[in-house]
């Protein structure tokens, strides 16, 4: 079995741990804060966040530009000093440990390959710094090259590789040292769309195979949804929600999360009564629906606050109306735009109270609606989600 030496403690560990439970790599962020500027005009980039990442877990920090995700990653890596708080790896505080002494590897957006070194020498670089013996080093590098389908390119220079190939070299170099934690700083943003899809599958496959705890930064929702065990949605330096991709999409914790992850319609709604814990009878678009509600929405209703009904575009059903009504009221709407994408068709519908988006899958020519058509709008109530308005 191939081996690689730990960057932190110098012991020898297996390069591959297929099917094994990771013995280490629990990462905890405790009250972590980063403030830039001076005391007279401080700017808080990361605002007292707490996060617990389990051994072998793949976590994605997701959010808009300026939300604090990259700053958080850089504090984990040691490239940015924390203003306060702790970065605990298997119980040891990393804050005072320099980046090159932390048992972590980072994959950068820019690949950061050495142009004067071959693919093989780039991959071997970290192991040489650890002074690994030549036979052991050669075997470890060979395994890493084979795992990333780079064996035939081992003697090439980085300039002779495509963007995807260079990214695979960067990934092999990061993984071959068998770190406790892998960090990814938007590593696929320079690749074209199809290559990004292939590479995110490859990264996830290798990460699961090796069982290395991983923190991945992106603003691409599809990457986060496809790769993550859990997603951390950040906004203005704070964590809005930590949950599985399914939970984030179906039961977002706030209007911000619902709006940022995927697409959503926010309908004006009035809660009539709580029919059972966490389920409300509401009116929206002239319909009476029984829908599930987040805890904050439940409290908002009790306190007389505002709530909105979140409905994903694929959960809206449209039925053509044969006779054109005199006015668009209740559950009626009019098609404002119709965009055909092949596998889906997207409609914008203007109703009495809201403009909503509907996405229908696998359309046929007979089912297509035209601009100006009047439709009856129906909501799949089991997929609707009542939220505190947040206004």
Q: What is the 3-state secondary structure (H, E, C) of 313-344?
A: HHHEEEEECCCCCCCCCCCEEEEEEEEECCCE
199 and 343 both lie in a single domain: no
Return the CATH number at 157. Answer: 3.40.50.300
| Higher pLDDT, residue 358 or 13 | 358
Mean pLDDT, to the nearest integer, of 193-209? Answer: 85
pLDDT of residue 323: 80
Within 10 angstroms of residue 8's Cβ, the number of other Cβ atoms is: 17
Question: What is the C-alpha to C-alpha distance for residues 102 and 9, in angstroms, rounded to an integer?
Answer: 10
**How many other CB atoms sit within 10 Å of the CB of residue 198?**
12
Domain boundary among 255, 279, 295: 255
3-class SS at 69? helix
pLDDT (0 to 100) of residue 21: 46
Is the pLDDT score of 301 beyond 80?
Answer: yes
User: Quick one: which H or E segment has residue 128?
Assistant: helix 119-129
CA angle 268, 270, 271 (to 5 degrees): 140
Do 156 and 251 have their domain in common?
Answer: yes
- What's the domain count of the chain? 2
> CA 382, 384, 385 angle in degrees (round to 5)?
120
Per this entry, what is the length of the chain? 391
Specify the pLDDT at position 23: 56
Average pLDDT for residues 325-342, to the nearest whole number? 88
**Which of 204, 237, 255 is the last residue before a domain boundary?**
255
Regarding pTM above 0.95, the answer is no
Residues 248 and 316 reside in one and the same domain: no
- Whether residue 60 contacts residue 217, with contact meaning beta carbons closer than 8 Å, is answered with yes
CATH code at 382? 2.40.50.140
pLDDT tens string 317-327? 999 998 888 77
Could you list the residue range(s) of the whole structural domain that residue 268 is in? 263-388
Q: Are residues 375 and 288 in the same domain?
A: yes
Quote the CA–CA distance of 99 and 271 in Å, as a whole number.
52
Are 195 and 166 in contact by the 8 Å Cβ rule? The answer is: no
Per-chain mean pLDDT for the chain: 88
- Tell whether the model's pLDDT for residue 272 goes beyond 50: yes
Q: Which of 255, 275, 305 is where one domain is finished?
A: 255
Cα–Cα distance, 318 to 328 (Å, whole number) = 14
Here the tokens at position 62 are 């997701």
Same domain, 161 and 247: yes
Say if residue 215 is in the same domain as residue 343.
Answer: no
Same domain, 185 and 277: no
Q: What is the pLDDT of residue 15?
A: 39
* 217 and 112 both lie in a single domain: yes
The mean per-residue pLDDT over the stretch 298-322 comes to 91
- pLDDT score of 197: 87
Task: Judge whether residue 374 has pLDDT over 90.
Answer: yes
pLDDT digits (tens, 9 = 90+) for 168-187: 898 888 888 889 999 999 88
Residue predicted with more confidence, 296 or 110? 296
Query: Is residue 77 pLDDT above 70, yes or no?
Result: yes
Are 110 and 156 in a shared domain? Answer: yes
| Chain segment 2-30, per-residue pLDDT in tens | 333 333 333 333 334 434 444 589 999 99
């Amino acid at each position: 079995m191939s081996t690689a030496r730990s960057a932190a403690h110098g012991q020898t560990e297996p390069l591959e741990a297929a099917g094994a439970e990771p013995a280490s790599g629990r990462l905890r962020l405790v009250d972590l804060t980063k403030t830039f500027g001076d005391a007279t005009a401080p700017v808080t980039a990361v605002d007292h966040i707490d996060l617990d990442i389990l051994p072998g877990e793949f976590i994605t920090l997701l959010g808009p530009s300026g939300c604090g995700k990259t700053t958080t990653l850089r504090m984990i890596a040691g490239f940015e000093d924390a203003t306060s708080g702790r970065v605990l790896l298997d119980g040891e505080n990393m804050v005072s440990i320099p980046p090159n002494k932390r048992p972590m590897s980072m994959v950068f957006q820019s690949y950061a390959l050495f142009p004067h070194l071959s693919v093989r020498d780039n991959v071997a670089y970290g192991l040489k710094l650890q002074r690994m013996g030549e036979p052991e080093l050669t075997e470890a590098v060979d395994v890493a090259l084979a795992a990333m389908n780079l064996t035939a390119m081992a003697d090439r220079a980085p300039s002779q590789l495509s963007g995807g190939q260079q990214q695979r070299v960067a990934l092999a170099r990061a993984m071959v040292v068998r770190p406790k934690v892998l960090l990814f700083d938007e590593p696929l943003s320079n690749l074209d769309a199809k290559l990004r899809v292939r590479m995110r599958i490859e990264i996830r496959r290798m990460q699961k195979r090796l069982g290395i705890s991983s923190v991945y930064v992106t603003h691409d929702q599809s990457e986060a949804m496809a790769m993550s065990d859990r997603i951390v949605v950040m906004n203005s330096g704070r964590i809005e929600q930590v949950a599985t991709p399914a939970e984030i999409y179906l039961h977002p914790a706030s209007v911000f999360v619902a709006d940022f992850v995927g697409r959503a319609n926010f309908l004006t709604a009035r809660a009539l009564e709580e029919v059972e814990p966490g389920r409300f009878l509401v009116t929206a678009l002239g319909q009476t629906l029984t829908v599930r509600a987040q805890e904050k929405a439940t409290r908002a209703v009790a306190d007389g606050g505002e709530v909105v009904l979140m409905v994903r575009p694929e959960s809206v059903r449209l039925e053509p109306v044969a006779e054109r009504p005199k006015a668009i009221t209740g559950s009626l709407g009019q098609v404002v735009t119709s965009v055909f994408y092949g596998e889906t068709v997207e409609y914008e519908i203007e109703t009495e109270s809201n403009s909503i988006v509907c996405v229908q899958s696998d359309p046929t020519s007979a089912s297509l609606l035209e601009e100006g058509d009047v439709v009856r709008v129906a909501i799949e109530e089991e997929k609707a989600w009542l939220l505190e308005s947040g206004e």
